[in-house]
C-alpha cells in the first residue's frame, strides 16, 4: 500500500512568535523554520508502517514556498521515498490545501493519507477532515494508535478519553502527540535524501484556485495578564483562597 503524508513548513516550535508592529501578521523574517511537529509524527508513523511491511512506498507532499523543499528533504531523510512540492508563495488555507491533496490522491491512489492534526502557525485543525470529506473517505482524527490490516483501526484522543474507530481503506488519519516519537534523520540518510526524487508542481497544475476565503483584518498581541501579588506563607495563601470563596 502506498502512503501519502502531508508536511508543512512552519515557525520552529521553540521560537516565540512576534506580532509585527503594523498588525499585518507575525514576523517570520530571519526566524527559524521547521517541519510542523504534528507532521513529523505523521512522517514517522508512515515510516513505521513501511518498516512493518504494511506500506510499500511513502510520498511526502508539501504546499508552500520554494523553501518548503527543505521540509520535504527532512521527510525524505527520515525515510520517505519521494516528494512533491506544490509551490506557491500564497498563504494557502486548509480548504485549498485539501483540494490540492485530493487531486494528488486521485493521481497517486494511496491506501492512506496521514497528516498532522493541526499546524502550529494557523492552528486550524481542519485540513485532514476537509480532505476526507472531499474524497468521500472515512477519517481518524487525533490518532494515538493506528493498526492497519484490510481496514485501519484508529484510537483517537477525545475529550472524554480514548475512542477507537474502524475505518475502511482508503482513509485519512491525523496525528496527535501520543502516536509516536519521531526519529532524527542520520547524516548518511540526510545525504541520501538529496538524491531522492522531488517533483515541483504548482496549484494550477491541479486546477485548484488557492485564493483566500478569509481575509486577515489585523493581527494583535493577546491581552496581557498583570502579575499579581506574592504571598509569603501557606497560611496567607489559605486566607486568599478562602477569600476567593473556595474550600470554605
The footprint of other proteins on residues 141-170 (CB under 8 A) is 141-142, 144, 153, 156-168
Check residue 121 for interaction with other proteins (CB under 8 A).
yes
Q: How many chain residues are in contact with other proteins, going by CB under 8 A?
A: 78
- The grid coordinates of residue 48 equal 513505521
Residue of 22, 107, 123, 150 interacting with other proteins (CB under 8 A): 123
Q: Which stretch binds other proteins (CB under 8 A): 39-47, 60-68, 134-142, 198-206?
A: 134-142
Check residue 24 for interaction with other proteins (CB under 8 A).
no
Q: Which residues contact 185 (CB under 8 A, 6 or more apart)?
A: 74, 77, 78, 193
Residue of 11, 86, 148, 173 interacting with other proteins (CB under 8 A): 11
Residue of 2, 91, 177, 192 interacting with other proteins (CB under 8 A): 177
Neighbours of 1 (CB within 10 A): 15
Build a one-symbol-per-residue string for 183-212: x at contacts with other proteins by CB under 8 A, - elsewhere: -----------------------------x
Residue 73 or 99 having the CB closest to other proteins? 99
Closest approach, Cβ 65 to other proteins, in A, equals 18
Check residue 107 for interaction with other proteins (CB under 8 A).
no
CA distances (Å), 26 to each of 120, 134, 174, 197, in order?
Answer: 13, 31, 26, 33
Place of cell 516519537: 181
CA distance 125 to 86: 20
Check residue 64 for interaction with other proteins (CB under 8 A).
no
Closest approach, Cβ 34 to other proteins, in A, equals 14
CA distance 116 to 58: 15
DSSP 59-122: EEEEEE-TTHHHHHHHHHHHT-SEEEEEE-SS---HHHHHHHHHHHHHHH--SEEEEES--TTT
Closest approach, Cβ 81 to other proteins, in A, equals 27
Closest approach, Cβ 59 to other proteins, in A, equals 22
Residue 187 or 244 having the CB closest to other proteins? 244
CA distance 149 to 55: 11
Residue of 94, 110, 182, 203 interacting with other proteins (CB under 8 A): 94
Residue 56 or 164 having the CB closest to other proteins? 164
Phi-psi region at 136: left, alpha or beta (left = phi > 0; alpha = psi -120 to 50): left
Amino acid at each position: 500500500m502506498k502512503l501519502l503524508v502531508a508536511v508543512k513548513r512552519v515557525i520552529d516550535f521553540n521560537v516565540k512568535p512576534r506580532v509585527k508592529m503594523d498588525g499585518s501578521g507575525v514576523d517570520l523574517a530571519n526566524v527559524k523554520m521547521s517541519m510542523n511537529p504534528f507532521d513529523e509524527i505523521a512522517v514517522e508513523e508512515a515510516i513505521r508502517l513501511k518498516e512493518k511491511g504494511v506500506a510499500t512506498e511513502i510520498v511526502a507532499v508539501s504546499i508552500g514556498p520554494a523553501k518548503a523543499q527543505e521540509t520535504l528533504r527532512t521527510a525524505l531523510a527520515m525515510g520517505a521515498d519521494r516528494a512533491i512540492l506544490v509551490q506557491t508563495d500564497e498563504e494557502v488555507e486548509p480548504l485549498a490545501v485539501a483540494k490540492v491533496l485530493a487531486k494528488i490522491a486521485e493521481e497517486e491512489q494511496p491506501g492512506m493519507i496521514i497528516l498532522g492534526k493541526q499546524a502550529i502557525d494557523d492552528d486550524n485543525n481542519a485540513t485532514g477532515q476537509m480532505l476526507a470529506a472531499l474524497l468521500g473517505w472515512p477519517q481518524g482524527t487525533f490518532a494515538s494508535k493506528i493498526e492497519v490490516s484490510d481496514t485501519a483501526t484508529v484510537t483517537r484522543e477525545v475529550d472524554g478519553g480514548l475512542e477507537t474507530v474502524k475505518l475502511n481503506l482508503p482513509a485519512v488519519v491525523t496525528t496527535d502527540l501520543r502516536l509516536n516519537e519521531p526519529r532524527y534523520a542520520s547524516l548518511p540518510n540526510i545525504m541520501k535524501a538529496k538524491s531522492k526524487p522531488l517533483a515541483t508542481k504548482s496549484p494550477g497544475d491541479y486546477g485548484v484556485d488557492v485564493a483566500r476565503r478569509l481575509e486577515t483584518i489585523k493581527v494583535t498581541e493577546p491581552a496581557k495578564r498583570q502579575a499579581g501579588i506574592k504571598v509569603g506563607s501557606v497560611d496567607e495563601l489559605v486566607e486568599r483562597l478562602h477569600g476567593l470563596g473556595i474550600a470554605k
